[in-house]
Amino acid sequence: MTRLVKYKKVAVKYLIRIVLMIGLVGISIQSFSQIDDEFWFVVPELSHRGNTGGTPGTLRLATMELDATVTVSMPANPAFTDIIVNIAANSSAAVDLSNMIDVAASPGITGLENKALTADGINNFGLHITATNMITAYWEINYTAGSDLWTLKGSNGLGTEFYTPFQNSTFTFPLVPQAYSAIDVVATQSPTIITFDLPPGVAASYGSPVQNVGAGGTHVVSLDQGETFSLFPIGLSGAIGDRLAGTKITSDAPIAVSVKD
């Protein structure tokens, strides 16, 4: 066997290894990305700064190489009419839900943003997005004073144990109505028992009229599929030390959790 043939065989062997490694990395990336055919999301309440609140609020959907029929539903709200969108391959669509969001100029709308409305803090506002093929989904708030984007993670965003991060360098600027940070959760199954364990020295509130959870305390809530709950700093405090950073959330069925600040 000549030296050239040896080198060729070695080169082919390493080339095969490299191709296999690239393939495995690609599979890993796709497995942990936001591409999926099912998503759960709870829309957070945003400040009325600039009079627009969390509007325009838009669900942005995009397909991969296949067409998809996407259904947006609210399983816990029988009054909500499913929204069905047909999207061609390699295309996108926007579902504008601004008409369901409370703004300063038109207060009292309570159909989408998760906020304190009842004594137990439970709402029926959870969004369930399903598709006939893989898609990506984002929730976009697009206004000058406070644009933001939530990337929906599909099954990768669901779990039974979470710890919540919050920034701890800046207080929340006082506004009317008060802007506040919060933890928002949505249940994917009925019933789901969710436990919030607060960090030492940190208290929290929920519901309307406001109910309090003592510093370092525990709060347990039971949600049915599509129901949502919001836990926020004691008395809607904007102080740095009152944020719910490090709160442990556990559940007996998969839930989706988001935070706002």
Higher pLDDT, 31 or 133: 133
Region of poorest pLDDT, from 23-37, 124-138, 144-158? 23-37
Instruction: With cut-offs at 50, 70 and 90, classify the pLDDT of residue 179.
Output: confident
pLDDT number for residue 1? 53
With pLDDT > 90 as the criterion, what percentage of the chain qualifies? 68
pLDDT number for residue 177? 74
Q: Give the amino acid at 237.
A: S
Higher pLDDT, 50 or 215: 215
Number of domains the chain contains: 1
Reply yes or no on whether the pLDDT at 238 is more than 70: yes
The answer to whether the beta carbons of residues 43 and 57 sit under 8 Å apart is yes
pLDDT number for residue 128? 99
pLDDT number for residue 171? 85
Q: What residues does 103 pair with on adjacent strands? A: 106
pLDDT number for residue 54? 74
Identify the domain containing residue 101 by its residue range.
Answer: 34-260
Cα 188 to its chain centre, rounded Å, is: 13
State whether residue 109 is helix, strand or coil: coil
Average pLDDT over residues 59-84: 97
Higher pLDDT, 100 or 70: 70
The answer as to whether 9 is a domain residue is no
With pLDDT > 70 as the criterion, what percentage of the chain qualifies? 81
Higher pLDDT, 10 or 39: 39
pLDDT number for residue 32? 45
The top-scoring range by mean pLDDT among 23-32, 112-121, 187-196 is: 187-196
Instruction: With cut-offs at 50, 70 and 90, classify the pLDDT of residue 29.
Output: very low
Closest C-alpha among 42, 32, 59, 65 to residue 134: 65
The answer as to whether 148 is a domain residue is yes
Reply yes or no on whether the pLDDT at 70 is more than 50: yes
Q: Give the amino acid at 55.
A: T
Reply yes or no on whether the pLDDT at 20 is more than 70: no
Average pLDDT over residues 172-179: 78
In the 8-state DSSP scheme, what is residue 46?
A: -
The answer as to whether 2 is a domain residue is no
The answer as to whether 234 is a domain residue is yes
How far apart are the C-alpha atoms of 223 and 261, rounded to whole Å? 24
What is the pTM for the complete model shown? 0.85
In whole numbers, what is the pLDDT of the chain averaged over residues?
87
The answer as to whether 17 is a domain residue is no
Average pLDDT over residues 213-221: 98
The answer as to whether 12 is a domain residue is no
Cα 166 to its chain centre, rounded Å, is: 15
The answer as to whether 25 is a domain residue is no
Residues 6+ apart with CB under 8 A from 11: none
Closest C-alpha among 120, 141, 98 to residue 227: 120
The answer as to whether 15 is a domain residue is no
Reply yes or no on whether the pLDDT at 81 is more than 70: yes
